[in-house]
Amino acid sequence: MIEHASVRRDVPLGELTTYKVGGPARWFAEPGDLEELRSILAVTPDDTVIVVLGRGSNVVIADGGIDGLVIRLGGAFAAMDLRASGEVVAGAATPLPKLARTAAVRGLAGLEFYVGIPGSVGGAVRMNAGGHGSETSAVLDHVVVVDLASGSVTQRDTESLDLSYRHSNLTEAEIVVQATFLTTPGDPEEIEATLREITRWRKDHQPGGTLNAGSVFKNPAGEPAGAIIDRCGLKGRSIGPVHVSPLHGNFLVATREATAEDIFAFVHEIKDRVTELTGIILEPEIRFLGHFGAQSGTS
């Protein structure tokens, strides 16, 4: 039992993700500021599984839901402060496309690549999100992190996060609540042109308007995962309500009839087939949250 006015019980999670699948959270909270977050953590039993959910763009929630507390930051955690120094301070719930567009209007360059990433600031830090020739580590100065067990707040600089390709050393017991980015002065019109170019590229090369979670697998060294999947003749392959996008091999698209287990099984089908044909072991980039099949290893 979690006794707190901001905590709700049995809240559906599927519609909070881009795949639109998955069951409910036993407990759910959407704190609007740091004080509220820490007060929720203070009354949460030590043995409670805590899952942080951002914009749901790289996760699949199990059909049975999550037997624990799901935290989704809101309110002040989506605020931005664009400073004359070029620093951009953004709450962890800030959508990355909004961050890029807001900076562009102010003539602050360096964050343009975020316009093509449908996640939030907190997720971008945790996964060192990137694209179009840049990544989070190149523009991040420092973050504010809350320990989910103790509620303690610390500031971490970029170097201490050990950021590499789709990796940080942040643990599941830590939540990013704020990030400070460094930008450079630029011409707003030129920055806007770059945003349009990135947006156009995404429309031409990725299956927009479908139920997907972006890139499913991390790119192995030397060759993009999508190219490997295509080389294996798997582009367009389907099993029931899930298929490999004919537009991009690293995007798995689901229909409204799909279940989380369908998606999980298909991801592992593609992974196993690639290993069989090439010897390459693809590592999923998307996260499976809750209880899935035996291969999952999730909580």
Amino acid in position 275: T
Sheet holding 242-244, edge to edge: 238-239, 242-244, 252-254
Q: Are strands 130-131 and 238-239 parallel, antiparallel or unpaired?
A: unpaired
Alpha-carbon dihedral sign for residues 227, 129, 237, 253: negative
CA distance 257 to 47: 35
pLDDT digits (tens, 9 = 90+) for 227-243: 999 999 999 999 999 99
CA distance 285 to 124: 13
In total, the chain counts a number of residues equal to 299
Whether 57 and 213 have beta carbons less than 8 Å apart is answered as yes
**What confidence tier does 296 reach under pLDDT thresholds 50, 70, 90?**
very low
Amino acid in position 233: G
CA distance 43 to 29: 12
C-alpha 271, offset from chain centre:
21
Percent residues over pLDDT 70 in the chain: 98
**What confidence tier does 293 reach under pLDDT thresholds 50, 70, 90?**
confident
**What confidence tier does 208 reach under pLDDT thresholds 50, 70, 90?**
confident
Percent residues over pLDDT 90 in the chain: 96
Distances (CA, A) of 161 to 143, 215, 220: 9, 23, 22
The secondary structure element, H or E, covering residue 104 is helix 96-105
**What confidence tier does 209 reach under pLDDT thresholds 50, 70, 90?**
confident
User: Is 297's pLDDT higher than 50?
Assistant: no
Mean pLDDT taken over the chain: 95
Count of CB atoms within 10 A of residue 123's CB? 25
CA distance 60 to 264: 8
Residues labelled as active-site residues? 166, 215, 285
CA distance 22 to 15: 8
Whether 108 and 86 have beta carbons less than 8 Å apart is answered as yes
Q: What is the model's pLDDT at position 119?
A: 94
Mean pLDDT is lowest, of 118-127, 207-216, 287-296, for: 287-296
DSSP letters, 207-266, are: -TTSB--S--BPPPTTS-HHHHHHHTT-TT-EETTEEE-SS-TT-EEE-TT--HHHHHHH
Q: What is the model's pLDDT at position 294?
A: 54
